[in-house]
Amino acid sequence: MTNDHRTTHRAMIIDAHCHLGVSPQFFLPDASVGTMLRVMDRLGIERAIAAPMASLSGQAEWGWREGLQAYGESGGRILLYAVFDPLAPASLDFVRRSLGEPAAVGIKIHPSLAQCPADDDRWRPVWELAADRRVPILSHSWSISDYNPVQKYSQPALFARYVREFPKVSLILGHSGGRYEGHVAAAALARQHANVFLDLAGDCYSLGLVEYLVAQAGADRILFGSDLTWIDPRTQLGMVLDAELSDFDKVCILRENALRLFCLR
């Protein structure tokens, strides 16, 4: 097998929600960049946009170095989200600096990990920065969970405050709200606001989910995402490929929407 992981003419999918590195919260048999690239090659994923796990775990600089190494190793196929932590005083400057790198195409926030509600005042600076730099924000989103109470900070409805205040900032609700109630709320927010997008990442496998989201929000507002390397991307890819949608809608979800949103052409 060749070690040259530059994209081929067959690769066309953009995976808009991935991760790099390891996490103490997840069992990852192999989180190496090499394995990630082999999976991308096999599934026809041209580019992946990833948030480094270390950055989500309070080690912003370490995670960013890891991300830049992956960007170089992949020949630019692995792009990056700069992770903002509202509780870290230096985080905004870190994100501002990181967005100057060619690898950076967006900002990642995670209200549940930060235990800071998505409508809290402490998120305002990153929305202002996203508006200034004209980059999208990807956020974790989820529904109320008895077994994981911090998910309450990422309920889709909480994002309405900043979505309304910053209509030119595109917000991607990662996991499309996470579970049933969250899917309904996320779809409603996307239906009400043209700057809200939904992605398919995570362990969200409800039968008919893709068709439901398209019917509620439109195929032009849905992004393919897998949570690679936490999640096997074959599941999400199969959900899209076998969905009862037109080929045009599937191409929008798998590629065209991300190209437009992240200015990747």
**Mean pLDDT, to the nearest integer, of 47-60?**
92
Helix (H, G, I), strand (E, B) or coil at 171: strand
| 19-33, 47-61, 87-101, 158-172: least confidently modelled range | 19-33
Rg (CA), the chain: 17
- The predicted structure's pLDDT at residue 22: 75
More confident residue, 29 or 234: 234
Q: Which fold has domain 13-261?
A: TIM Barrel (3.20.20)
- The predicted structure's pLDDT at residue 10: 62
**Mean pLDDT, to the nearest integer, of 101-120?**
98
- What is d(CA 239, CA 156) in angstroms, rounded to the nearest whole number? 22
**Mean pLDDT, to the nearest integer, of 130-148?**
95
Of all residues in the chain, what percent carry a pLDDT higher than 90? 83
Parallel, antiparallel, or unpaired: how do β-strands 45-52 and 196-199 relate?
Answer: unpaired
**% helix, strand, coil for the chain, step of 5:** 45, 15, 40
Confidence bin at 3 (pLDDT 50/70/90): very low
- Are 240 and 200 in contact by the 8 Å Cβ rule? The answer is yes
Is the pLDDT at 5 greater than 80? The verdict is no
Phi and psi at 167, nearest 5°, equal: -65, -15
- The predicted structure's pLDDT at residue 26: 66
**Mean pLDDT, to the nearest integer, of 163-188?**
97
Is the pLDDT at 28 greater than 80? The verdict is no
**Mean pLDDT, to the nearest integer, of 194-200?**
98
- The predicted structure's pLDDT at residue 9: 42
Burial of 251 (0-12, 13-18, 19+ CB in 10 A): middle
The sign of the torsion formed by the CA atoms of 144, 150, 156, 157 equals positive
**Mean pLDDT, to the nearest integer, of 31-54?**
95
- The predicted structure's pLDDT at residue 27: 67
**Mean pLDDT, to the nearest integer, of 64-78?**
97
pLDDT averaged over every residue in the chain: 93
Is the pLDDT at 133 greater than 50? The verdict is yes
- The predicted structure's pLDDT at residue 1: 35
Is the pLDDT at 7 greater than 60? The verdict is no
The sign of the torsion formed by the CA atoms of 167, 127, 145, 53 equals positive
The sign of the torsion formed by the CA atoms of 199, 36, 110, 178 equals positive
Is the pLDDT at 78 greater than 70? The verdict is yes
